[in-house]
Structure 1
Amino acid sequence: MNKKAIYIITGVACLGFLVINLTTERKREIAPIRAADDLTPVTPAPQINNASAPTAINPDMTAEAAIDSHTSLKNTDASQQLPPITTPSYLPVIAKNPISASQFQGDLTDHQAYLDFHKQQQTQLEQRFVIAAQQKITNLESLLEKGRQKGLPQRQLQVAIDKIAALKDMQAKLKSKDTN
């Protein structure tokens, strides 16, 4: 698209937005809060005689009375039925396998030692990739053979072939880098 078409589309969209906002009905504004002496006074809550019987909230009942009726029920029933909260005797680990990351133990001002440590970590990562890639290649090759036996389309088989080729290529590069 050229710039002229983009400007036209943008202008039409803006006009449409403006028309929609101008034609829709305005929302009512919130009424201001009245002065405190205009408010209705709250009546005191009646006393509850029977705390063991559940009480329904009456529409004429004040908020304080409703809260008092329910909290008195909760306080008497809960303390009698629930055992005290204790700490668990066993806390499960969050991670399945704890990961122990090797950290640099040398002097942080020694830049060369830190670079050597980083290079060693990178080499270990590449070696683990070579091992894991071999397992993945054998798994993908077995799946590719099953796909050929089931008669999957060549397009789907080609995806697996490309993945296997990429893994073998990266594995060969890392092996040759390791031997040098």
Structure 2
Amino acid sequence: MSFVSRIWRLIRHPTGFVGKDLEGNMFFERHNPLQEARRTKRTVKYHNNDMWLYISGPKRLPVQWSAWLSHTRQDPPTLQELQIDLVRQERVLRNAALIEARDREEHLRMSSGLEPGAISSRAAQVADTRLELPQEHSGETASSVSAPPPIPAREEPGPKSLPTMPSQDRYEPESWTPRARLRGQ
């Protein structure tokens, strides 16, 4: 952060307020009174005094703010950046759930010995019946119901043809001579 922007922030926000996260926690930056200290002091004031939920509980500060607090990141994150990261985290969780469902389906198929597309076709039939519900029962239109697209079944490789070998009584091994490797190959 440039010297001018620091001065401007001190004039504009004398308390050292830097920003907020999506939970309502407020972050501050103050000048360090020690002469030999080169860094500013960065602190967080937790929303509704739920500090213990962040320290030893299930809540966590956003990674961007944690990096800013530890002086790993120079500039504080914006609310837009935090919202984009939240959408990314939700997308990752959705994708992980899809992968887990596909793995469960594959495990069921492998353990029951069904053909590759049997379980996924049943899942597709269930998704189709959800879309065909009358509007008065579902309360939504068929286009607004978001069912995950059926995952195409992977084709399993069949037994590959192995090279034929002559019978043992006619087999004669060839001599092996190593080739000299040229540089760059």
- TM superposition score normalised by structure 2: 0.23
Higher RCO (CA 8 Å, separation ≥ 6 residues): 1
When Rg is computed on C-alpha atoms for both structures, the one with the higher figure is: 1
Greater strand content: 2
Greater helix content: 1
- TM superposition score normalised by structure 1: 0.23
